[in-house]
């Protein structure tokens, strides 16, 4: 691993219209020891053409630009491809339609260098929407309600005071690899954030920076937010349950501890599914 380098990993499918904003934010970083790994997940648009435009500018800043074009297998599969190519001491994931604050890498790296006993650090996330003119409107800035809490492993399973978004958390690769030696995460179409974060913070301390490090694009009125069916919601819950179960089984070796975490996951999703079904029954005519 290259000491001091941050590997930023982005899986991208048909990101022609918005990938530039992310790449420009990476080029504006005040911290310059950066490897940017872009995995083109079988895009059918001009994603590759747009990405290659920035190759020379990254070279001028002495960035390591790693570009891979694969068949379309989904984001988690694309992340697995990227994990084999990571050279940095630190790791951050970013979605193709979001972007970083200019000093995000500097602030997070500085924290980890000043706090060697911490293996990860998180910051605040700004949710925004934009119109056709790309004028941005802030929806919310999400901060930690318990910034003194450094043991976040159980919180990420329970989702208590945790915002599980890419770009918000940076972790040391050595800790992730200690708990995920084969550099593979569980593949599921429901996402890949838990599979990356949980191995990195297992039996580790996570710090907190009270600054916005990441800007998350909210697709207001999108299909996923407005037209979910009864079955699709249950399917999403089932996928989340599978992600957590498979991740815990992979990284937790202690039998008693594993049983405890799996029981928590089962109880959480049993209750969620039951409550959702009862809610839909009560509001069936609505």
Report how far residue 26's alpha carbon sits from residue 64's, in angstroms, rounded to the nearest whole number: 12
194-210: buried (b, 16+ CB within 10 Å) or exposed (e) per residue?
bbbbbbbbbebebbbbe
pLDDT of res. 269: 97
Q: How confident is the model at residue 161 (pLDDT cuts 50, 70, 90)?
A: confident
Rounded Cα distance, 57 and 50, in Å: 13
The pLDDT score that the predictor gives to residue 134 is 75
- With a pLDDT cut of 90, the percent of the chain lying above it is 85
- In terms of DSSP H, where are the helices of 159-229? 173-179, 193-201, 223-226
At residue 223, does pLDDT exceed 60? no
For the ranges 72-86, 153-167, 181-195, the lowest mean pLDDT is seen at 153-167
Residue spans of beta strands (DSSP E) within 198-260: 205-217
Those residues whose C-beta lies under 8 Å from the C-beta of residue 196, and which sit 6 or more positions away, are 79, 91, 93, 176, 185
Over residues 234-252, the mean pLDDT reads 96
Confidence of residue 227 (pLDDT cuts 50, 70, 90): low
What average pLDDT does the chain have? 93
* pLDDT-derived band at 283, boundaries 50, 70, 90: confident
Average pLDDT over residues 249-272: 97
pTM: 0.93
Domain ranges of the chain: 2-220, 224-282
Closest residue by Cα to residue 31 from 96, 118, 103: 103
The span from the CA of 236 to the CA of 240, in Å, is 6
pLDDT over 80 (residue 207) = yes
CA dihedral over 46, 82, 216, 13, signed as positive or negative:
positive
> Is the pLDDT assigned to residue 160 strictly greater than 80?
no
Report the CATH number of the 2-220 domain. Answer: 3.90.550.10
Residue 221 has pLDDT above 60, yes or no: no
pLDDT at 286: 54
């Amino acid at each position: 691993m290259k000491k001091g380098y941050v590997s930023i990993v982005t899986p991208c499918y048909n990101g022609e219209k918005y990938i530039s904003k992310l790449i420009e934010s990476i080029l504006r970083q005040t911290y310059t020891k950066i490897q940017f790994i872009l995995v083109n997940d079988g895009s059918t648009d001009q994603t590759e053409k747009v990405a290659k435009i920035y190759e020379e500018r990254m070279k001028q800043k002495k960035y390591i630009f790693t570009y891979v074009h694969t068949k379309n297998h989904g984001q988690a599969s694309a992340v697995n491809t990227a994990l084999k190519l990571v050279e940095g001491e630190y790791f951050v994931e970013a979605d193709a339609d979001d972007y970083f604050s200019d000093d995000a890498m500097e602030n997070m790296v500085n924290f980890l260098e000043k706090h060697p006993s911490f293996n990860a650090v998180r910051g605040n996330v700004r949710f925004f929407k934009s119109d056709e003119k790309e004028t941005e409107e802030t929806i919310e800035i999400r901060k930690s309600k318990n910034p003194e809490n450094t043991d976040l492993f159980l919180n990420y399973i329970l989702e208590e005071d945790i915002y599980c978004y890419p770009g918000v958390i940076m972790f040391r690769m050595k800790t992730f690899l200690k708990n995920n030696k084969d550099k593979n995460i569980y593949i599921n179409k429901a996402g890949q954030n838990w599979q990356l974060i949980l191995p990195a913070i297992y039996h580790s301390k996570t710090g907190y920076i009270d600054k916005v490090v990441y800007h998350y694009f909210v697709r207001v009125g999108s299909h996923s937010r407005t037209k979910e069916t009864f079955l699709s919601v249950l399917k999403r819950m089932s996928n989340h349950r599978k992600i957590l179960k498979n991740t815990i089984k992979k990284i937790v070796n202690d039998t008693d501890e594993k049983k405890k975490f799996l029981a928590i996951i089962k109880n959480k999703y049993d209750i969620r599914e039951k409550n959702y079904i009862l809610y839909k029954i009560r509001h069936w005519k609505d």
